[in-house]
Chains A and B, each alone.
Chain A
Amino acid sequence: MKRVDLKIVLLGKEYGGKTSLLERYLYDHFHGDLPYQNTIGAAFGAKKIQLDDKQITMGIWDTAGSERYEAMSKIYYRGAKAAIVCYDLTDSSSFERVKFWVDELKKFEEDCMIYLCGTKKDLVQEDRQCRKIDYHTTTDYADEIGANLFETSSKTGECVRELFTQIAMDFVNKYVPSSKEKNEDLILESPGKKSTFCCSS
């Protein structure tokens, strides 16, 4: 059995739901009743995941969204194999920050796979008026930059596990030499322009 380390970084505007997303994934809980606690610097969490014969240890960096840390963000995303760039579906300005982070990653971490993640989906399902970011705008953008797109809710857990599993699978396909035939590898290694629309309803 092979052990592999996968570094993932969560980026996005403050109050965007990054910490909640990670806590849902790691501990399967959501503390919506507790007051919002902004992350300071970055928090680190790890989780093991089993894919076929491979055990992958994800090291996940949950960064603080405050602009103050922008200048130091490299410490956290350097060498990341995947970045989850979060935006709050109920806050239009949060998508502007997505563009900032995507540009930054394209510039400094070319090889980092990008996953766009619209958070707090339960809120927009409850009240359609709450949605401030048009779904098609985000899919168009995801296609343009060659990123995957997910819409998640940390409250209900919708799509959260799927997001991280997808990252792990993409990582394995891209970096971990498969014991199977070579040509399959080649197909998988070609940069996927396709977006995955998980749970789009």
Chain B
Amino acid sequence: MATASCKSLEDSETARESEEETEIPKDFEPGASSESILISIDLYEEVENSPGSVYEDVSYRRRKSTICELERSAGKRVLAEEQVETSKSFDDKSQDGQLKAEIGHDESIRIKNSPNVEPIRIEMESIQMSSDEEKHEIIETAEDIHNPEWKQHSKHIFILSEAGKPIYSRFGSEDKLVTLMGVMQALVSIVQDNGDVIRSIHAGDHKFVFLVRLPLILVAVANTNASAPQLVVQLNCVYNLILSVLTSTQLCSIFEQRRNYDLRRLLGGAEKFLDNLVDTMDSDPSFLLVAVRCLPLTSAIRDTISQSIVQYCSKVKNVVFAILVAKNQLVTIVRMKKYSLHPSDLHLVMNLVNSSDSFKAAESWTPICLPKFDSSGFLHAHVSYLDDNCPACLLLLTVDKNLFFTLQECRRKIVERLHRYNCLEAINASLESEGYSVSEVGLPDLRHFIYKSKSAAQFTEPRLEAPYVSNEDQSNLFGLYQYLHHRMYNSARPLKILFYVGQKEIMLSWHMAGFELYAAFEPMVTKFTAVNTMNKLVRWIKKEEDRLFIMNAPTI
């Protein structure tokens, strides 16, 4: 692994020294504005410091529902009808005893005890495993798992029900993984019986990370640079995706009625959302940083776009969010007063748009749940691309399920106005240039960087250029960012600044009150130069912030 062969220099001494050199005010934060379109949160502190949140029960959400609140304020009756509809019985035609029977086949489970594999470390919230238990090695089962290709994947994501029934696997068919998932369920429940929660198992280069979100269990198995907390954050995203298609209300009621329900029946067609999400999380810093990438645009153009949306959406009651995205980048959000969007919810919206071409063919009207906004119910989204020649997709989200034709008209007027002010051309031009080159910054030793404004929950990065051209080099770089990120957030020793000498580049990361910055430098750069460069870089970002970030938060 890269980490073993690299010497990493970092100590609090250097940190203090470098901070003084930078002469950056403590609260400096390019990209920040007085009001933010997105909610800023620190997921990693949540994951690291409050293990209780890892094991949360969805039922708490029933206490209050933002959607109900919105509907009431709009003088509408509560979604009584839908509530009844969703709770109708889900009968499961599949065989109940199937899982037990398969686990009963003892021959198919073998526990390997090879001495040259590192012992597994099982991390739990309070209990330490006793030493004789540590001897259990990687559990292997027959079938799919013996397929070498299946084993080669650097990351697996599994979802199973509390009863151990397979729901999703990124690779291989769930049916063939019944036994494996049974083992995972057993691990969870054994630890649970002791009043504890399993968090991760470490075996050699592999991490097995668990997220128990009853009635679901999510498991990541990876030998990538992603740390256990980062994998937990990924699993959380996957869990939220499930909620976004089903709602927590529906999810819970299904399993309350039938513990053994085969959830795959309801996820038909959603597998590609899951696949797409699981894949992009390995290369897109959005998920790592819990922040959103904005499409670079002049503030004049962006304001025109926002104003066009405000102008027509404000005439329609009940539009909660109007979101314009283009190729995984946010163009703008217009929101109802008092309500903000959580970056994770926006990731799900972008993932939905990205994973399917069907929105391109026709305008759609689809229910979507934004779990951080309100996991108990659906919003309704009018989804349409602006134009055949512009890959920007407009989503108008409302609580009113009868608003389609009103929104259709509203959307027509918006698009008309955007045409009139040449906004589509501006969006296309920005997309075609694929962001900006790091050379625009004018700092010769700098190869690449990722900058996040914490309060805005937005980040920026230049496009990947030489030497990060091949997939392998790009994913190595991302792995380094993951590693830096993990070191910075390490709960035992959070860092302010980290200078890291990698095999092919020098990495520097820097956390201030307002921002996070990670950068890659030429391999021979000195610590002094690198720190100086970072200093100049944040000033450049400050200068460009109007273009790189969404600084206005228009409301309707």
Contacts and interface: CB of A to CB of B under 8 A. Distances in A.
B367 A19 contact: no
Interface string A22-63: 010000000000100111111111000000000000000010
A39 B195 CA distance: 44
Interface residues of A, number: 24
Contacts of A135: none
A41 B366 contact: yes
A40 B269 contact: yes
Interface stretch (B100-108, B333-341, B356-364): B356-364
Contacts of A43: 358, 361-365
A44 B364 contact: yes
Contacts of B265: 67
B382 to A, nearest CB: 9
A74 interface: yes
Interface in B265-281: 265-270
Contact of A41 (B361, B364, B408): B364
Given A69-B367, A71-B85, A44 B269 contact: no
A88 interface: no
A89 to B, nearest CB: 21
Interface string B240-257: 000001100010000000
A40 B358 contact: yes
Contacts of A37: 356-358, 361
A72 B86 CA distance: 8
Nearest to A73: B85
A180 to B, nearest CB: 32
Contact of B356 (A14, A40, A72): A40
B82 interface: yes
A152 to B, nearest CB: 19
Nearest to A41: B366
B269 A71 contact: no
Nearest to A44: B363
A107 interface: no
Contact of B268 (A14, A23, A45, A62): A14
Contact of A68 (B269, B362, B408): B269
Interface in B64-116: 81-82, 85-86, 88
A38 B362 contact: no
B317 interface: no
Interface string B42-82: 00000000000000000000000000000000000000011
Q: Interface centre among B246, B362, B366, B378, by most A CB within 10 Å?
A: B362
B315 interface: no
Contacts of B250: 71
A41 B268 contact: no
B160 interface: no
Contacts of B380: 75
A66 B264 CA distance: 11
B268 A67 contact: yes
Contacts of A68: 245-246, 266-270
A45 B367 CA distance: 18
Contacts of A72: 82, 85, 367, 378
Contact of A66 (B268, B365, B404): B268
A64 interface: yes
Given A23-B361, A68-B266, A42 B366 contact: yes
Contacts of A44: 362-365, 404, 408
B401 to A, nearest CB: 5
B352 interface: yes
Q: Interface centre among B245, B352, B364, by most A CB within 10 Å?
A: B364
Q: Interface centre among B85, B366, B408, by most A CB within 10 Å?
A: B366
Given A40-B269, A40-B352, A71 B358 contact: no
Given A43-B365, A71-B86, A75-B401, 9 more contacts: A40-B364, A41-B367, A43-B358, A68-B245, A68-B269, A71-B82, A71-B250, A75-B380, A76-B365
Closest 3 CB pairs of A and B: A41-B366, A43-B362, A38-B269
Interface of A: 14, 19, 23, 34, 37-45, 62, 64, 66-69, 71-72, 74-76
